[in-house]
């Protein structure tokens, strides 16, 4: 075969990869933050509202979860401008990430909320807490503690999925990899390197999320004990 | 020349779904086979095998499917195979499935109570006989709902292979959109077809899971 | 030749020594009861005899099959040693008859017809002949435990080990299982049983072993062990048991 690995040409363009990495980090970071927020809000809304709202939220969740992220991305990127709304590739990508993660997060948090016992809510109400106070302290916090591992996995998956945004030429990590590949023709080397970068990112993100979980729901506290109890 | 989105465009997209389905089935078969080995290795008594399987799962679950695709695509051609993109697509989807199914099935094997291992060991079963007659039959029941659930992920992720030119659903949508430029109609259609494939599978997975829980509780 | 011979067996879990030099001989047709406080190592001893735990020193022999710390000859030994646990551990995906036929079929390689007739025979022996096609989940605890006994018997073991087989059962169900064991003893089965049922041990076992802190503390004919305990530890154990 005579194939020789040559990483040097690729390493020479490391600055380009770092640019891409930065875009990936921004996309993933803001997407995860906003997507998680959307999910929590919708799960709360669903928990507090009547049937029509519940059905709307469920429809959104089902639609998103049963279609590919790529297609969602393409609809937004190509479709929204036809409505007269100008959208950069980055904005389209961020919107798609938030919408996609929002649906998964809604579903996960909903499961957490539903695992909270009725008696807990009654206990809260009987202590003269308001509905909102009960929801926040008695329902939401334990629910999040329970589903934190499932949420974390979803965040990692979403971070990895940002690579799909290269399809609409967002210059994130894998798009920059393709750029280097077309300049250097060291395809395999580029993608091995970039794969390793993603792997490192995933490990770091998992570590950060585990740390955050321990911080938000400290071991030894009641919430710490719940952490991960109803992982999906 | 701009064409309009007519029945023939719709049929073109619809027909491309067969590649999506074919890819899914192939990946499920090959990835299932590999994933089964991964699950066995992951629950092996040999620490190096366990570590290897854990590493495999960690890597597959820690990298984008897109990278698996590129690595398969360029890797196969470097290895001297001049293969149609569909093969690289199948390989990458199978690798992807093996990492997730391996982990799902590891959990199912370990969900079989350890007393079942002990009871069968006490009856002088060999390790292989324990797997074959006692552990796997019980693990399979637990494994069906999450495995069906994973198929949905698999169907959706096959859309990624459109980038290497396999004309499955997503790629067909792209081609038609380039010609007609009616993105909502085109990608709406594509999304609808995915939905029609995935939603029933999702519902089935949920129903199976409900049944399993009911049986375990009762 | 004794059926079971245990010589100087030591067993450690990490740094904790659970068996500290056990010697025990079980002759053919003999029924030996093992009593003792929780944590004294009774279960561990039975599990070692079946090779479910590896021993660090000493030797275990069952009808000529040796088991040394290396664990060789394990499967041959297990073919001759039946063990029944506190939890019945039937295979839930198999019917009662299939539960019993499986091991003779795949481990001993007997024909299907032979396995079936063995299964019917042992089921009759435990009084469940008509439950051949039942699912384990549809049986009471006592019935499941009797099926577990039958499943072991179908291997035609040279010795049966019982580890507190009635402890998980409701009081009204222990009787049927004890009666099954007593009938086995009368039919000449060699048995080694860990039990908290003192009256049963006294009546059915010819010899009783009192284990304490990982050692055989006192051992002798059941009548003497229960009627005239020698060591203060056994006296205290029997005394507290009577309360
Ligand atoms: N797998 C294990 N790992 C570590 N320690 C163990 C293990 N199995 C048993 N032990 C310890 O060995 C000691 C003896 O346990 P064993 O189960 O043999 O006692 P026992 O006499 O059967 O008690 P019981 O009447 O409660 O069943 C106990 O202190 C127990 O904690
Ligand atoms: Mg015990």
Would the CB of C40 count as within 6 Å of ligand 1? yes
Would the CB of C42 count as within 6 Å of ligand 1? yes
- Residue closest via CA to ligand 1's atom 16 equals C41
What integer best gives the mean pLDDT of chain C? 93
Residue B1, domain member (yes or no) = no
> Which chain A residues contact residue B71 at CB under 8 A?
188, 191-192, 195
Calculate mean pLDDT across residues A81-110: 96
> Which chain B residues contact residue A63 at CB under 8 A?
191, 195
Q: Averaged in consecutive runs of 10 residues, what is the pLDDT profile of chain B (218 residues)?
A: 82 96 97 98 96 98 97 87 89 98 97 96 95 97 96 98 94 94 94 98 94 71
| pLDDT given at position B126 | 93
Say whether C75 and B126 touch across the interface (CB within 8 A): yes
Q: Give the count of alpha carbons within 13 A of B144, CB side only.
A: 13
pLDDT class of A226 with cuts at 50, 70, 90: confident
Q: At what angle do helices A187-216 and B65-78 cross, to 10 degrees?
A: 160
Calculate mean pLDDT across residues C95-115: 96
User: Nearest CA to CA, how far is B163 from chain C (Å)?
Assistant: 46
Q: Distance between CA atoms of C115 and C108, rounded to whole angstroms?
A: 10
| pLDDT given at position A145 | 92
What residues pair up with C216 in beta bridges, in sequence order?
A: C211
Closest-CA residue of C relative to B125 is C107
Say whether B199 and A71 touch across the interface (CB within 8 A): no
Say whether B138 and C75 touch across the interface (CB within 8 A): no
Say whether A62 and B162 touch across the interface (CB within 8 A): no
pLDDT class of A232 with cuts at 50, 70, 90: very low
DSSP state at residue A164: G
What angle is formed at CA A180 by the lines to CA A177 and CA A185, rounded to 5 degrees?
115
- For residue B77, give its domain range: 7-217
Say whether B119 and C106 touch across the interface (CB within 8 A): no
User: Which secondary-structure segment (H or E) carries C191?
Assistant: strand C191-194
Would the CB of C43 count as within 6 Å of ligand 1? yes
Any alpha helices (H) in A66-140, and if so which ranges? Answer: 69-74, 80-82, 89-114, 118-126, 131-133
A2-47: per-residue pLDDT in tens?
567 787 777 778 888 999 999 999 999 999 999 999 999 999 999 8
pLDDT class of C243 with cuts at 50, 70, 90: very low
What is the CATH number assigned to the segment(s) A8-216?
A: 1.10.3720.10
A63-78: per-residue pLDDT in tens?
999 999 999 999 999 9
Please check whether residue A107 is in contact with residue A36, taking contact to mean a CB–CB distance below 8 angstroms: no
Q: How many CB atoms lie within 10 A of CB C52?
A: 19
Q: Distance between CA atoms of B216 and C14, rounded to whole angstroms?
A: 36
Residue B11, domain member (yes or no) = yes
Calculate mean pLDDT across residues C106-127: 96
pLDDT, greater one: B114 or A118: B114
pTM of the model: 0.91
- Residue closest via CA to ligand 1's atom 3 equals C13
- Measured in degrees and rounded to the nearest 5, phi and psi for residue A3 equal -80, 130
> Which chain B residues contact residue A161 at CB under 8 A?
64
> Which chain B residues contact residue A66 at CB under 8 A?
152, 156, 194-195, 198-199, 202
Q: Distance between CA atoms of B92 and C80, rounded to whole angstroms?
A: 50
Separation of CA C184 and ligand 1 centre (Å): 28
Separation of CA B180 and ligand 1 centre (Å): 75
pLDDT class of C228 with cuts at 50, 70, 90: very high
Q: Reply yes or no on whether the pLDDT at C29 is more than 70.
A: yes
Q: Coil, helix or strand for C209?
A: strand
Would the CB of C38 count as within 6 Å of ligand 1? yes
| pLDDT given at position A2 | 59
Q: Which ipTM value was assigned to this complex?
A: 0.94
Q: How many residues does chain A have?
A: 232
Say whether C52 and B121 touch across the interface (CB within 8 A): yes
Would the CB of C195 count as within 6 Å of ligand 1? no
Pocket test for ligand 1, best of C16, C22, C33, C44 (most atoms within 8 A of CB): C44
Touch between A and C (at least 3 CB pairs under 8 Å): no
| pLDDT given at position B83 | 82
Pocket test for ligand 1, best of C42, C49, C192, C209 (most atoms within 8 A of CB): C42
Pocket test for ligand 1, best of C9, C12, C13 (most atoms within 8 A of CB): C13
- Residue closest via CA to ligand 1's atom 26 equals C38
C36-91: per-residue pLDDT in tens?
999 999 999 999 999 999 899 999 999 888 876 666 678 889 999 999 999 999 99
Domain count, chain B: 1
> Which chain B residues contact residue C78 at CB under 8 A?
121-124
Say whether B116 and C91 touch across the interface (CB within 8 A): yes
List the CATH number of the domain containing B35: 1.10.3720.10
Handedness of CA C47, C50, C54, C60 (dihedral sign): positive
> Which chain B residues contact residue C103 at CB under 8 A?
123-125
CB proximity list for B217: less than 8 A, separation 6 or greater: none
Q: Distance between CA atoms of C36 and C84, rounded to whole angstroms?
A: 19
- In terms of average pLDDT, the best of A61-75, A179-193, C174-188 is A61-75
Would the CB of C18 count as within 6 Å of ligand 1? yes
Separation of CA C167 and ligand 2 centre (Å): 10
Say whether C52 and B137 touch across the interface (CB within 8 A): no
| pLDDT given at position B218 | 46
Nearest to B70 among A156, A160, A191 (CB): A191
Q: Distance between CA atoms of A179 and A173, rounded to whole angstroms?
A: 10
Q: Which ligand is nearest to the CA of C45?
A: 1
* Structural domains in chain C, sorted by start: 4-239 (3.40.50.300)
Q: Distance between CA atoms of C136 and C207, rounded to whole angstroms?
A: 34
CB proximity list for B89: less than 8 A, separation 6 or greater: B23, B69, B72, B73, B158, B161, B164, B166
Mutation target for C interface from B113, B123, B137: give the one with most C CBs within 10 A.
B123
Q: Distance between CA atoms of A193 and A93, rounded to whole angstroms?
A: 24
Q: Distance between CA atoms of B147 and B67, rounded to whole angstroms?
A: 23
| pLDDT given at position B1 | 58
DSSP state at residue B4: P
Q: Distance between CA atoms of C114 and A208, rounded to whole angstroms?
A: 61
Say whether B123 and C155 touch across the interface (CB within 8 A): yes
Residue B64, domain member (yes or no) = yes
């Amino acid at each position: 075969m005579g194939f020789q690995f040559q990483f040097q040409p690729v390493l020479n363009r490391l600055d380009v990869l770092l640019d891409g990495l930065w875009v990936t980090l921004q996309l993933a970071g803001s997407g995860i933050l906003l997507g998680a927020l959307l999910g929590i809000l919708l799960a709360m809304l669903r928990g507090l509202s009547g049937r029509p709202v519940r059905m709307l939220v469920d429809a959104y969740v089902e639609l998103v979860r049963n279609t590919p992220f790529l297609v969602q991305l393409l609809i937004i990127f190509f479709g929204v401008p036809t409505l007269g709304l100008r959208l950069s590739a980055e904005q389209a990508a961020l919107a798609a990430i938030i919408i996609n993660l929002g649906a998964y997060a809604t579903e996960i948090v909903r499961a957490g909320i539903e695992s909270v016992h009725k008696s807990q809510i009654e206990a809260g109400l009987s202590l003269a807490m308001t509905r909102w106070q009960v929801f926040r302290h008695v329902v939401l916090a334990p629910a999040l503690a329970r589903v934190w591992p499932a949420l974390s996995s979803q965040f990692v998956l979403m971070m990895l999925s940002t690579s799909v945004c290269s399809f609409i030429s967002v210059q994130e990590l894998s798009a920059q990899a393709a750029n280097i590949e077309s300049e250097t023709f060291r395809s395999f080397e580029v993608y091995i390197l970039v794969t390793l970068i993603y792997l490192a990112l995933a490990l770091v993100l998992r570590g950060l999320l585990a740390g955050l979980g321990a911080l938000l729901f400290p071991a030894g506290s009641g919430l710490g004990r719940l952490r991960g109890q109803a992982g999906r | 020349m701009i064409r309009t989105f007519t029945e023939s465009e719709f049929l073109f997209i619809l027909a491309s779904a067969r590649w999506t389905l074919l890819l899914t089935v192939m990946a499920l078969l090959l990835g299932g086979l590999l994933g089964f080995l991964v699950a066995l290795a992951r629950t092996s008594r040999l620490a190096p095998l366990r570590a290897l399987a854990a590493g495999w799962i960690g890597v597959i679950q820690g990298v984008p499917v897109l990278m698996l695709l590129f690595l398969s695509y360029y890797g196969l051609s470097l290895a001297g195979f001049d293969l149609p993109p569909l093969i690289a697509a199948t390989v990458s989807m199978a690798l992807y499935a093996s990492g997730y199914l391996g982990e799902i099935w590891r959990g199912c094997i370990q969900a079989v109570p350890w007393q079942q291992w002990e009871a069968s060991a006490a009856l002088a079963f060999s390790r292989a006989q324990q797997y074959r007659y006692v552990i796997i039959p019980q693990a399979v029941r637990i494994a069906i709902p999450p495995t069906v659930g994973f198929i949905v992920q698999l169907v959706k992720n096959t859309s990624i292979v459109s980038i290497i030119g396999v004309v499955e659903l997503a790629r067909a949508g792209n081609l038609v959109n380039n010609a007609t430029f009616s993105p909502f109609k085109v990608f709406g259609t594509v999304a609808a077809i995915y939905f029609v494939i995935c939603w029933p599978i999702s519902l089935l997975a949920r129903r199976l899971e409900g049944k399993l829980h009911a049986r375990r509780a009762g | 030749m004794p059926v079971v011979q245990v010589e100087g067996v030591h067993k450690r879990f990490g740094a904790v020594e659970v068996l500290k030099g056990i010697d025990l001989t079980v002759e053919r047709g003999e029924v030996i009861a093992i009593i003792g406080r929780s944590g004294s190592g009774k279960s561990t001893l039975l599990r070692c005899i079946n090779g479910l735990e590896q021993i660090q020193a000493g030797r275990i022999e069952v009808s000529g099959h040796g088991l040394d710390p290396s664990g060789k000859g394990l499967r041959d030994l297990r073919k001759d040693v039946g063990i029944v646990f506190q939890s019945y551990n039937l295979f839930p995906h198999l019917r009662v008859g299939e539960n019993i036929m499986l091991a003779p079929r795949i481990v001993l390689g007997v024909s299907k017809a032979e396995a079936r007739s063995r299964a019917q025979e042992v089921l009759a022996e435990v009084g469940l002949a008509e439950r051949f096609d039942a699912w384990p989940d549809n049986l009471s605890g006592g019935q499941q435990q009797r099926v577990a006994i039958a499943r072991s018997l179908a291997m035609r073991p040279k010795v049966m080990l019982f580890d507190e087989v009635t402890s998980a059962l409701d009081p009204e169900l222990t009787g049927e299982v004890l009666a099954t064991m007593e009938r086995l003893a009368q039919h000449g089965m060699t048995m080694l049983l860990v039990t908290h049922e003192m009256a049963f041990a006294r009546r059915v076992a010819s010899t009783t072993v009192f284990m304490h802190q990982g050692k055989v503390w006192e051992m002798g004919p059941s009548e003497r062990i229960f009627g005239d305990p020698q060591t203060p530890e056994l006296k205290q154990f029997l005394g507290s048991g009577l309360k």
